[in-house]
């Protein structure tokens, strides 16, 4: 069986780090820079970074509508930090959602600006011991969520920081910045694996995509 091809939105943020984590758990990471690469994927990662920059670049490259359609159709998606903001159905302060599809309300930079970045151990019962080390950098806070649709996998204090809704796995922290690959393995094995890899074999170097160097 071929390795699942996981697109990493390569506009901003921890693209290389996500590529390394995906490769470590047996997936083939593929940089996504344009909309033409999207239909050839088994899964998608929306990295962290500066959410305003992601919003501008995604709009310029014509990716927003394509991302929304594929995620709505069930493409397994891992979103971290700014990626979580991109998928949130509501953003405090009146900012329009970028992609949407995740039934949460987020507050941008709620844990503080860059200088307030921190690390904290996170108990994730579904992943077992030891705790996952959460790296929070200008992290969003999930301030409300639809309990009928969204399963909370981990809290920091009273705040959900790792959630799952169907084929979406979203983290307020950066699992790609540690050597612990359990979040990426959960994504690849449970979400992507449950869907199965694409039947057709495509050229990973086609226009709009390139291999992530790991």
Query: Which residues does the annotation mark as catalytic?
Result: 81, 174, 176
Structure tokens that stand for 93 in this block = 């302060």
Give burial (CB, 10 Å; 0-12/13-18/19+) of 73: exposed
- With beta carbons less than 8 A apart as the criterion, state whether 106 and 91 touch: yes
DSSP H helical ranges for the chain: 15-24, 51-60, 64-72, 82-87, 182-185, 193-195
Residues 6+ apart with CB under 8 A from 49: 11, 12, 13, 14, 81, 82
Rounded distance between C-alpha atoms, residue 167 and residue 162, angstroms? 14
Segments in 73-144 forming alpha helices (H): 82-87
Question: Residue for token digits 């910045």?
Answer: 177
Cα 209 from chain centroid (whole Å): 18
């Amino acid at each position: 069986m071929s390795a699942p091809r996981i697109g990493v939105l390569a506009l901003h943020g921890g693209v290389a780090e996500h590529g390394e984590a995906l490769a470590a758990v047996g997936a083939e990471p593929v940089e996504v820079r344009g909309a033409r690469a999207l239909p050839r994927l088994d899964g998608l990662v929306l990295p962290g970074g500066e959410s305003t920059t992601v919003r501008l670049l995604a709009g310029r490259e014509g990716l927003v509508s394509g991302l929304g359609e594929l995620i709505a159709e069930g493409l397994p998606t891992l979103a971290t930090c700014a990626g979580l903001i991109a998928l949130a159905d509501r953003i405090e302060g009146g900012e329009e959602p970028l992609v949407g599809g995740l039934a949460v309300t987020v507050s941008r930079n709620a844990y503080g600006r860059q200088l307030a970045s921190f690390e904290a151990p996170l108990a994730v019962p579904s992943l077992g011991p030891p705790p996952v080390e959460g790296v929070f950098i200008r992290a969003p806070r999930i301030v409300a969520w639809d309990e009928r649709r969204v399963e909370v996998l981990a809290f920091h204090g009273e705040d959900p920081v790792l959630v799952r809704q169907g084929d979406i796995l979203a983290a307020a922290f950066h699992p790609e910045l540690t050597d612990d690959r359990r979040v990426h393995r959960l994504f690849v094995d449970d979400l992507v694996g449950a869907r199965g890899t694409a039947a057709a074999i495509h050229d990973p170097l086609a226009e709009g995509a390139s291999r992530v160097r790991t």
